[in-house]
Amino acid sequence: MRAGGDVDYDSTGQGYATQRRPDPRIAAAIEAALGDAQTVVNVGAGAGSYEPAGRRLLAVEPSAVMRAQRPPGAAIAIHAYAEALPLDDGAVDAAMAVATVHQWADRTKGLAELRRVARGPVVVLAFDGPALGDWWLNDYAPELIAAEQRRYPDISQTAAALGSKVEVRVVPIPIDCTDGFTEAFYGRPERLLDPAVRRAQSSWGFVGPEVEPRFVARLSDDLDSGRWDERYGAWRRLPAYEGSVRLLVGWP
Ligand SMILES: C[S@@+](CC[C@H](N)C(=O)[O-])C[C@H]1O[C@@H](n2cnc3c(N)ncnc32)[C@H](O)[C@@H]1O
């Protein structure tokens, strides 16, 4: 199996931890969803974003480049895959998976594994593809949005795999979100012109080579001319955006 599912994080994962810093408001939503769980497995753990403090945590991450970016003191990360968790049934109080399920080679198997190993909540942060149709990036890089929509699984299908009682919560994206996924820059378009920001967004690897330079040229021109602000300036003043981010919480 390739280390990073549909993305080769062993080749492209450098710099991820710098650009994709956990956002404290999103972290608080995850933390609340974990309830009073003392033992937690974080699957597709990457560089350790959103791992809650004060609990016993095991991280599962197949990419060595991602594991190497985990900060000193982070929980131990083992090389394993969601689809075959090396844990007994009900081994932990809770399981979590953040911004990762869309990359798994066999999502059905992986989600069943999360449910199998957790006695309590399974907490999944995922993206709702249809909701991505609502923001201005569609006018500059429709191919990118289409690629993301193709990758993101249906939220209700994901939810159905998480247990007999499941809640789907909208997670508002704060205007100063520190986690650099594309929608995080809904009110800060200039930031998307930074190549380092785009390198930490795997979707750019799913579009043709002409898309990124065309996007940069058009957005730069429109920002310079004031055209972007004329058409979309109101986005800069939205304190938070309810876009595609969803928190799914399932109980057995
Ligand atoms: C976008 S990163 C998210 C990392 C981290 N959860 C975060 O929020 O920053 C997705 C991670 O999923 C991992 N991944 C991909 N396929 C996987 C699989 N089948 N099982 C477990 N992890 C996987 C990748 O290696 C990558 O580190």
Atom of ligand 1 nearest to the CA of 62: 25
In a domain, 51, yes or no: yes
Q: Which two tokens stand for residue 100?
A: 């990762």
User: Which structural domain, as residue segments, surrounds residue 237?
Assistant: 9-251
- pTM of this prediction? 0.92
In this predicted model, what pLDDT tens digit does every residue of 127-186 receive, in sequence order? 999 999 999 999 999 999 999 999 999 999 999 999 999 999 999 999 999 999 999 999
pLDDT band of residue 120 (cuts 50, 70, 90) is very high
Best residue for ligand 1 mutational test, from 14, 18, 103, 183 (most atoms within 8 Å of Cβ) = 103
Q: Which residues contact 241 (CB under 8 A, 6 or more apart)?
A: 135, 172, 173, 175, 183, 186, 187, 235
d(CA 245, CA 78): 27
End-to-end CA distance of the chain: 29
Which pair of tokens denotes residue 199? 């390198």
Model confidence pLDDT, tens digit, residues 186-227: 999 999 999 999 998 989 999 999 999 999 999 999 999 999
Q: Which residue has its alpha carbon closest to ligand 1 atom 23?
A: 44
How distant is the alpha carbon of residue 243 from its chain centre? 13
Structure tokens at 227: 């055209």
Q: Is residue 55 part of a domain?
A: yes
Instruction: Give 243 Cα–ligand 1 centroid separation in angstroms.
Output: 21
Work out whether strand 245-251 and strand 122-127 pair parallel, antiparallel, or are unpaired.
antiparallel
The two three-digit tokens of residue 147, written as one number: 């690629």
Q: Would you state the pLDDT for residue 10? A: 62
How large is the average pLDDT for residues 224-248? 98
Question: Could you give the CA distance from residue 37 to residue 35 in angstroms, rounded to a whole number?
Answer: 6
**Quick check: is 204 in a domain?**
yes
Whether residue 52 lies inside any domain: the answer is yes
CA distance 95 to 35: 11
Q: Is residue 197 part of a domain?
A: yes
Domain tally, the chain: 1
Q: Is residue 191 part of a domain?
A: yes
Q: How far apart are CA 106 and CA 98, in angstroms?
A: 16
Q: Please check whether residue 34 is in contact with residue 251, taking contact to mean a CB–CB distance below 8 angstroms.
A: no
Residue 2 has pLDDT above 90, yes or no: no
AA letter at 226: G
| Domain assignment of residue 23, yes or no | yes
Is 3 a member of any domain? no
- pLDDT score, position 3: 47
Give me the mean pLDDT over the 30-59 stretch.
Answer: 97
Q: How far apart (Å, rounded) are the C-alpha atoms in residues 223 and 229?
A: 7
Give the CATH number for residue 235: 3.40.50.150
